[in-house]
A and B are shown apart, each in its own frame.
Chain A
Amino acid sequence: MENTTNTAAAVDNSEFSFKRASQAKEIWRRFRKSKGALIGLILLLIIVGVLLFAPLFISYDAAIESDFANVLAKPSKEHIFGMDGYGHDIFARIIYGGRTSLTIALIATVTSCLFGSALGAIAGYFGGWVDSLIMRSLDIFMSVPDILFTMAVVVALGANAVNLIIALTLAYFSNYVRLVRSQVLTLSEQDYVEAARAGGSGNARIILKHIIPNAIGVIIVNVTLNVAKIIIYESTLSFLNLGMPPPQPEWGMMLSEAREFMRPAPHLLIFPAAAIVLCACSVNLVGDGLRDALDPHLKS
């Protein structure tokens, strides 16, 4: 029971289940103490539930088919969030846009985490010229502003889901390189790593068995906090028309389209904006809670 909720809390982390029951229980006990974290978790579960089961109560057609009779209609019984400038149902667009946005955000989080962590682990563990090479290249890479870089990638490769994921991965992996490198640097000084080496373990085994399991807590927390950032970033890209090609709905693009009608029809802006804020907030709350819940353990 605790296990399943915790897995949901980490959103995208099946690795989390490797922690044994006693530890998971302990983390859950501390997590539960924070009201904010619990609210975030409940909100997140509701959002994920609604997005998952959306096809049961509203069809994708409502999001992409125009109903010109009802352009800019105010929220009503039939269309609870109203209609947009093309006569699309805003509720349906938020649901289906959310499905795309969140999926892309999740995948990009996982890929940037895996890619960045691997590089950081290699740099930290092997040190010397490998470390210098990776870190200096990263410095060059990071001297270009993220948003510029991402835009360049999407413009060059074209706007579709895969390229968006590539762009977001490139924008976010550097965090993990630094984080995991510093973790590995401290952890490889630990006595149990020295002891494992004296027991005949090779590099790969030491990284997999001793370093990663000890660094995973910090990484999970960062992943959770990054999901929120990536959701916003993804919306920014689609706001700049660099997201998924239309008529595919996306939250950022909805905001961008709503600008024209800001005065006569503010609901066009309010609902997608609220969706982004709600999503980002709940993920952040869960991330904060998780960080506090994991911290005492990490210090010991």
Chain B
Amino acid sequence: MAEERTDLILDIKNLKVVYKTDMEVVEAVNNIDLKIGRGKTLGLVGETGAGKTTTALSILRLLPAVTGKVLEGEIHFDGQNLMEFDEHFMHAIRGNRISMVFQDPMTSLNPVLTVGDQIAEAISLHNDQLSKEEIDRKVEDTLSMVGILPKRKSDYPHQFSGGMKQRVIIAMALCCEPELLIADEPTTALDVTIQAQVLAMMRELRERLGMAMLMITHDLGIVAQTCDDVAVMYAGEIVEAGTVEDIFTGEHHHPYTVGLFNSIPNLDSRASRLKPIPGLVPDPTNLPKGCVFSPRCEHCTEICRQQRPETVTHGTHSLRCHLFAEKKEGGAAHE
């Protein structure tokens, strides 16, 4: 935390975000830290309502103007704290150096503009020196990059299938060759075979463009296939983070992560039944006093209910649970 690390493209420190409405205050993100190395992909995993999208929108400073507020924290992008810049500066960042792909391809394209026009718009927005012909050529290049015939640029979104729409959206996000791509559940709305195609394409483009990625998902399979690092988010907190190896093959895990793995089908243990995590995600307007996972945790003890655990880091692996508070070995017995 002492000085800036130049190997990081994104460094989120102690970010706290709330939504303030007339009736209530939703504590959506609670003092999280996230780091993404240049060219690396971080998977952000968690149940619905964990605060994943909120984190993503905070990076682009696109939280709803009236209700969304960043209360604490810094977001360093390429060494600059984004929280200190004005809207004008952010216009130059968005879509140019940081792009975002949204969850639903069906509604993320403007129905009355051709896809070519929409890509051209995204290009010309950040390249005002380009001539019409150059932009046109770039539109065609961008379309072929995502495997769509360039001649389809004059088609409207409704003439494309869901998978192709998502390709177009990814094309728009990548046309200015951003250093960081935020993908918010980019394939949840697609069926499985198309999902695999789109993910393979994203991986390939990531290698080609050398960009970093924040892959938001609740699918651990996607994490295993695409990510270098993983952060597990629960009720606005990062409860466990580390490299893919740490999370998938490491010895010690946060009880919530264990629950996540138990609740997905596993080919190796086909016979054993899925074990969903009992209970519900806590109400973000009224979070538990101690550990946020304590109401659902089978290892819960008195201290868990009273005191919020600190994050304990060993090498690349960090955990936020009382089981691992003193020494990492302390928790092993419980596993």
Contact = CB atoms under 8 A, between A and B. Distances in A.
Interface in A60-94: none
A197 interface: yes
Q: Which one of A198, A202, A209 has the greatest number of beta carbons of chain B within 10 Å? A: A198
A200 B113 CA distance: 18
A246 interface: no
A300 B95 CA distance: 27
A194 to B, nearest CB: 7
Given A198-B95, A202-B91, A300-B158, A191 B113 contact: no
B169 A195 contact: yes
A32 to B, nearest CB: 21
Nearest to B105: A191
Contact of B126 (A128, A195, A200, A214): A200
Contacts of A30: none
Contact of B92 (A19, A197, A200, A300): A200
A196 B102 CA distance: 11
A202 B89 CA distance: 11
Given A214-B111, A214-B112, A200 B93 contact: yes
B99 interface: yes
A136 interface: no
A20 B114 contact: yes
Nearest to B122: A199
A191 B99 contact: no
A5 interface: no
A270 B249 CA distance: 92
Interface residues of B, number: 31
The prevalent SS among residues of A at the interface is helix
B198 interface: no
B111 A200 contact: no
B94 A200 contact: yes
Given A198-B100, A201-B125, A191 B108 contact: yes
Contacts of B109: 192, 195
Contact of B125 (A20, A127, A200, A214): A200
Interface of A: 19-20, 22-23, 127-128, 190-192, 194-202, 205, 209-210, 213-214, 300
Given A197-B94, A199-B125, A200-B92, 16 more contacts: A191-B107, A192-B108, A192-B111, A195-B102, A198-B62, A199-B94, A199-B99, A199-B172, A200-B91, A200-B96, A200-B125, A201-B91, A201-B121, A205-B125, A209-B110, A213-B113
